[in-house]
Amino acid sequence: MLEVRDLSVSYGAIRAVRGISFSLGKGELVSLLGANGAGKSSTIKCIAGALKASGGTITLEGKDITTSSPEQVVRTGLATVPETRDVFPDLTVAENLMLGAYLHRRDVAGNRDNLERMHALFPRLSERSNQAAGTLSGGEQQMLVIARALMSRPSVLLLDEPSLGLAPAIVERIFEMIETLKKSGLTILLVEQNVNQALAVADRAYVMRLGSIVASGTADEIRSTSDLSAHYLGS
């Protein structure tokens, strides 16, 4: 489904991602773990087209998207939820969701069905439909960004730290929702610092450290064999 080969990302002289390779099979939930500064978000941004790769290739369903612009990437069926939780704050919740369906703007009926599905998945969003997105709580904003990404009807969803800065109860809800999405057949790349919860939902995981992948395997393998705390604490 999604295939990343020897991907490198540099900010000037600083190499944030140093030739990593990984892949996602159809319907898989793969987690990308690692501490701050490991290069996870750079990887996500690069796949999404918001950041230029300095080397390597990214293919989505056999199509090379390495040099694609963000708008081209989403058109090939990959939606991104960035870690910065980018709601459009002065647009209403409904307008945010409507923009999520930008690619399908002519399919009014389909969008209406999809919107109903989102409202079922996130009841809070339907209550706050006409409220400016900037007035939502952090958890609600996260739900809005995920729902907005889903409105683009993706086959692959990139989730960058969906639990960042949220209260434990909300994190619980977000992970439940990720599981629901997985069950619906969506392919998901989940970037997390919240290792235990990420491994609980993931099929497989990759561990990044200082721009390289230092461990990979099934969730159970990662949990039992690799010394995660070493990668996180840098010892």
Partner 1 sequence: MAFTIQFIIDVLSLGGAYALMALGLVIIYGILRLVNFAYGELIMVAGYTMYLSSGSGLPWIVMAALAVAMAVVFGIFTDYAAFRPVRAKSVTAVLITSFAFSNLLQNAALLFISPRPRNVPLPPIFSQTVEIAGAITPVRNLITIAASIVLLAAVAYLMRKTTLGIAMRAAATNFTMARMLGVPANLIISSAFALSGFLAGVVGILWIGRIGTVVPGVGLEPLLVAFIATVIGGMRSLPGAVVGGFLLALIDTTLNYTLPQDLLKFRDAFTFTLVILILLWRPAGLIKGPASGQRT
Binding site for partner 1 (CB under 8 A): 48-50, 69-71, 73-75, 79-80, 82, 86, 88-91, 95-96, 98-100, 102-103, 105, 134, 148-149, 152
Task: Please tell me the distance from the alpha carbon of residue 4 to that of residue 57, in angstroms, as a whole number.
Answer: 6
Nearer to partner 1, 152 or 197 (CB): 152
CB-count burial class (<10 Å; 0-12, 13-18, 19+) for 108: exposed
**Considering beta carbons, is residue 53 or 195 the nearer one to partner 1?**
53
Question: At 189, phi and psi to the nearest 5?
Answer: -110, 115
- Closer CB to partner 1, 118 or 219, in the complex: 118
Compute the least distance from the CB of residue 74 to partner 1, in Å. 4
Nearer to partner 1, 90 or 113 (CB): 90
Looking at residue 165, the DSSP 8-state letter turns out to be T
Cβ(95)–Cβ(136) below 8 Å: no
In the complex, minimum distance from the CB of residue 89 to partner 1, in angstroms, rounded to a whole number: 6
Residue whose CB is less far from partner 1, 35 or 50: 50
Query: Minimal distance in Å, beta carbon 78 to partner 1?
Result: 9
Query: Looking at this protein, which amino acid is placed at residue 72?
Result: Q
Which DSSP category does 38 fall into?
A: S
The nearest distance, CB 91 to partner 1, in angstroms, is: 6
b/e code 177-203 from CB counts within 10 Å (16+ = b): bbeebbeeebbbbbbbbbbebbbebbe
Closest CB 81 distance from partner 1, rounded Å: 9
